[in-house]
Amino acid sequence: MTKPAVCFGSPSPEHDISILTGLQAAHALAAAGTDVIALYWAKTGDWYEVPPTSEASDFAEGIPSRAEEVTLRTGSNGGFHRHGRRGRLVPIEISAVVNCCHGVPGEDGTLQALFDLAGIRYTGPSQWGAAIGMDKLAFAATVAAAGVPVLPSAVLDANTEIEGPGPFIVKPRFGGSSIGIEVVQDLDTARALAASQPLLREGAIIQPFLADAIDLNISVKTCPVPTLSSVEKPLRDDSGQIYTYGDKYLAGGDQGMASAPRELPAEIPVEIEARLRTHAETIMRVALVRSVARIDFLLRGDELYVNEINTIPGSLSWYFWFHEGIPFPTLLDQMLAEAQAGPTRRFRTEGADGTALRSAGAMARKLA
């Protein structure tokens, strides 16, 4: 019998938060009467099937005691498989997977490409949309080309030169959830940070830090039709610092981001909200948004900048849609219906007809 699945975890700094999001989704589906499969992607990269009613504490020390290892295969017999007798692999019939894996490699296109190769339907961004969303420099360039205002961004390395004084904000180029983000006062400190911080070694960007800006976020979804939520204003202390990982994911306790303090809807001027919503619609189109995402903005005075996109947002942004009258199980059903309706990605082999191979001759001639 075909069932939906929820996957979470992953070998990522955001592993723990992904578990919270995944368990919220699995519990919501199970409570609504859906027979759902829960798939845990361990820090080791191995996959396990776990009870969908598992609790966060079951994962605190690693792989839960009731976990059963499963295998993910690509190719013509692709998909998830249980381990049967005598080493036989038994396919797990899955209609679509709710992808709750935050950060790299679950949100950057890696897992999406693997699911494509395995013939698995999934929620969230496509491989291309995930790659654009996770690369902060590529995302900024993409939306800026469409006329959406962004803060000046530069690659940060030993040779970076920037005109003007600090402070600056340094971010991992490939990452999310404010992990590894630091505010520095000068360029020399930024360069030293990029060389010493492990999360910045794969790539770092530097931007002006707007200490007096406020955060404004909006959720967008494409299922069943493109829709924008109300705007939220996250609430934090008056220290003038960034909206941190702790603010986003730990302030809400066991419900993660869904219970973080916020003003929803945000009390902002009508003109600012209209401009933000127009920018969000543009971003949905040019950044290949699919399923449910969250777009984060910065507002300073009447200047509005897009900050980043979260293509698999914390708690899947269900609290935005609950405010719009859409319960979490209904939102999940909409996401799954969209994933199930679309075909799995097909890779094309036109042109690979053997002509080049037949005319190639001996390989030794290619090496002469």
Domains, the chain, ordered by start: 3-122 (3.40.50.20), 125-151+210-338 (3.30.470.20), 152-209 (3.30.1490)
**Distance between CA atoms of residues 298 and 217, nearest Å:** 9
Instruction: Output Rg (C-alpha) for the chain, integer angstroms.
Output: 22
Q: Show the CA angle centred on residue 232, arms to residues 226 and 238, nearest 5°.
A: 155
**Distance between CA atoms of residues 337 and 293, nearest Å:** 16
Pairing of strands 3-9, 94-99: parallel
Strands in 204-208's sheet, in edge-to-edge order, are: 154-155, 204-208, 168-172, 182-184
Of 308, 302, 251, 312, the residue nearest 280 (C-alpha): 308
Quote the pLDDT of residue 238.
Answer: 57
Q: Ramachandran region of residue 45, left (φ > 0), alpha (ψ -120 to 50) or beta?
A: left
Quote the pLDDT of residue 1.
Answer: 73
Of 176, 177, 298, the residue nearest 231 (C-alpha): 298
**Total residues found in the chain within this entry:** 368
Please list the ranges in the chain whose pLDDT falls under 50: none
Sign of CA dihedral 83, 89, 92, 97: positive
184-242 pLDDT tens trace: 999 999 999 999 998 898 899 999 999 999 999 999 999 999 999 999 999 875 555 56
The DSSP bridge partners found for residue 208 are 168
Quote the pLDDT of residue 85.
Answer: 87
How many other β-carbons are positioned within 10 Å of the β-carbon of residue 210?
19
Quote the pLDDT of residue 126.
Answer: 97
Q: Are 192 and 186 in contact (CB under 8 A)?
A: no
Quote the pLDDT of residue 34.
Answer: 97
Sign of CA dihedral 125, 261, 183, 218: positive
Q: Are 168 and 162 in contact (CB under 8 A)?
A: yes
16-25 pLDDT tens trace: 999 999 999 9
Question: In which element (H, E) is residue 215 found?
Answer: strand 214-221
CB crowding 60-71: b at 16 or more within 10 Å, else e:
eeebbeebeebe
Quote the pLDDT of residue 149.
Answer: 98
Q: Helix or strand or coil: residue 257?
A: helix
